[in-house]
Amino acid sequence: MQNVPSLIVLDKNANSREIIKSYLNNLECIGEIKLFDDYKTGIEEIKKEKDCIAIIDISDNIDEAKEAVYDIKLLTPRIVITSSDYSTNTIIRALRLGAKEFLPKPVLKDDLIRVISMLANNTNTENDSPSRIITVYSNKGGIGKTTIAVNLAEELARVTKDKVALIDLNLQLGDISTFLNLNPPFDVNYVIRNLIDKEEDTLIRAFEKYKDTSMYVLADPSYIEQSESITPQEIEKLFNVLRKVFPYIIVDMSAAIDPNSLKILDLSDWILFTSIVNIPAIRNAQRCLNLFRSRRYPEEKVKIVINRYMENDEITLNDIENTLGQKVYWKVPNNYFTIMEAINKGETIAEINPSSNIGNSFRDFASKVSDDIIEQTVIQYRR
Ligand SMILES: Nc1ncnc2c1ncn2[C@@H]1O[C@H](COP(=O)(O)OP(=O)(O)OP(=O)(O)O)[C@@H](O)[C@H]1O
Ligand SMILES: [Mg+2]
């Protein structure tokens, strides 16, 4: 007999457990169905299973359920969350916890069979959630792209516990490794030349995992002549491969507008278009936004981030929004000392001073990015 995953149901409501079992009893793509009213015992059972799908109900005690989902996530990626509360907020919460699917209660037989069959037939579910390429860009140098890419990526890893790739595509002048005091053995050029067709495990080993976070760093090429040989087609291939492994891909790049940069920008799901508050920078930003419009980027793809923001600046947020014709998505406060300490020590702001204004800002920024992405997923989900 073909190996099929067993199904572990964790639900405090006896009736719901039995309904799930009765709906799935004859489904050939799953094995034994085991029911638990207690999360702890259910998790012990999941630990014993080689291959299983977990259905966990979060209708009652959300905090207890949350801890349980975190534990289960370490054991199997195939998690379905059910709840009698199916507000958008709860669905977002469930997906953020790591559920592959959310089912409102009472569970409908057809939906349940569809979801479980899909998970049972797809063993590689770890990477099937949509992956987002988020590029931090400015057409001006020294605006804070690397600062934002590094600290946002690390906070996203902390907030979501998902794998976040931080890629240095500032091919000639990259400095992510300096910002994080890393000396990675491999770089973008090596991955493109040697690992692009390899298994995910091999590919991921070329990245430097940052300390105890789930952020994986890929450095820029060690030699300028190597960066010159990288083509837009190769960047596209790299992105396609990375999308299979990482739910979030944060890209840092140069200010140049050349064929490689345009490729990166075209392929990004989001561009965090960064500016500071001064007239030349805003004028520059205006020109670049016109370029984005001429390339028909949808408005929601380009998100304006103001760096080094100060409340009492002469130019107000309103002025910037009026000039650029678009709302500002996020403001990162000015905090030179914390940033310089972080850069000099080769650490992130979260490590140096998490409770500073800029530490709080990056944490909230990451939560907003992750919430907005999940919300986009929920909207697609509800269609
Ligand atoms: N929010 C901030 N508050 C204060 N200083 C900042 C802030 N963000 C960045 N800086 C300062 O700006 C400098 C340039 O930042 P960063 O290297 O991130 O810019 P960049 O856009 O990546 O530059 P490049 O175009 O050279 O790659 C940093 O060394 C830091 O001193
Ligand atoms: Mg930079």
Residue whose CB lies within 8 A of the most ligand 1 atoms, among 137, 172, 339, 365, for a mutation test? 339
Q: Which residues surround ligand 2, an ion (CB under 5 A)?
A: 145-146
14-35 confidence digits (pLDDT tens): 999 999 999 999 999 999 999 9
Residue 207 · residue 164 · CB < 8 Å: no
- Decide: 147 in ligand 1 pocket, CB within 6 A: yes
Question: What is the Å distance from ligand 2's center to 93 Cα?
Answer: 34
C-alpha of 105 from chain center: 28
Q: If DSSP codes are grouped into helix, strand and coil, which group holds residue 206?
A: coil
- Output the pLDDT for position 220: 94
311-329 confidence digits (pLDDT tens): 999 999 999 999 999 999 9
Q: Rounded to an integer, what distance in angstroms lies between the CA atom of residue 323 and that of residue 286?
A: 7
Q: Is 173 exposed, middle or buried (0-12, 13-18, 19+ CB in 10 A)?
A: middle
For 53-77, give one letter per residue: b (16+ CB within 10 A) or e: bbbbbbbeeeeebeebbeebbebbb
- Asked whether the domain spanning 132-382 has the same topology as the one spanning 6-127, the reply is yes
Percent of the chain with pLDDT over 90: 75
- Decide: 131 in ligand 1 pocket, CB within 6 A: no
163-210 confidence digits (pLDDT tens): 999 999 999 989 999 999 999 889 999 999 998 888 888 888 899 999
Q: If DSSP codes are grouped into helix, strand and coil, which group holds residue 1?
A: coil
For 307-328, give one letter per residue: b (16+ CB within 10 A) or e: bbbeeebeeeeeebeeebebeb
Smallest CA-to-CA distance from 339 within 356, 326, 322 is with 356
Which residue has its alpha carbon closest to ligand 1 atom 23? 142
Count H helices, E strands: the chain? Answer: 17, 13
Residue 270 · residue 134 · CB < 8 Å: yes
Which residue has its alpha carbon closest to ligand 1 atom 4? 336
Res. 382: pLDDT tops 80 = no
CB atoms within 10 A of CB 279: 10
Q: Rounded to an integer, what distance in angstroms lies between the CA atom of residue 116 and that of residue 81?
A: 12
Q: Which atom of ligand 1 lies at the shortest distance from residue 142's CA? A: 23
CA distances from 234 to 202, 231, 271 (A): 18, 5, 20
Q: Where exactly are the structural domains of the chain?
A: 6-127, 132-382
C-alpha of 149 from chain center: 12
Res. 127: pLDDT tops 50 = no
Question: What is the Å distance from ligand 2's center to 54 Cα?
Answer: 43
Res. 298: pLDDT tops 90 = yes
132-382: CATH homologous superfamily?
P-loop containing nucleotide triphosphate hydrolases (3.40.50.300)
User: Top-level CATH class of 6-127?
Assistant: alpha beta
Tokens of 88: 């958008």
- Output the pLDDT for position 238: 95
- Decide: 308 in ligand 1 pocket, CB within 6 A: yes
Which residues is 177 bridged to in the sheet?
none
Q: Rounded to an integer, what distance in angstroms lies between the CA atom of residue 266 and that of residue 157?
A: 25
Which residue has its alpha carbon closest to ligand 1 atom 26? 142
Ligand of minimum distance to the alpha carbon of 144: 1
pTM above 0.85, yes or no: no
Q: Rounded to an integer, what distance in angstroms lies between the CA atom of residue 4 and that of residue 123?
A: 10
Which residue has its alpha carbon closest to ligand 1 atom 7? 308
Ligand of minimum distance to the alpha carbon of 335: 1
240-295 confidence digits (pLDDT tens): 999 989 999 999 999 999 999 999 999 999 999 999 999 999 999 999 999 999 99
- Decide: 255 in ligand 1 pocket, CB within 6 A: yes
CA distances from 25 to 4, 18, 52 (A): 14, 10, 15
Q: Residue 122: which H helix or E strand, with range?
A: none
Smallest CA-to-CA distance from 253 within 237, 243, 264, 238 is with 264
- Decide: 276 in ligand 1 pocket, CB within 6 A: no
Secondary-structure breakdown of the chain: helix, strand, coil percentages, each rounded to the nearest 5: 50, 20, 30
Res. 380: pLDDT tops 80 = no
CB atoms within 10 A of CB 360: 14
Q: pLDDT category, 126, cuts 50, 70, 90?
A: very low
Which residue has its alpha carbon closest to ligand 1 atom 29? 340
Which residues is 253 bridged to in the sheet?
169
Residue whose CB lies within 8 A of the most ligand 1 atoms, among 140, 146, 147, for a mutation test? 147
CB atoms within 10 A of CB 169: 24
Beta-strand ranges (E) seen in the chain are 6-10, 33-36, 52-57, 79-83, 101-104, 132-137, 164-169, 208-209, 215-218, 248-253, 270-276, 302-309, 328-333
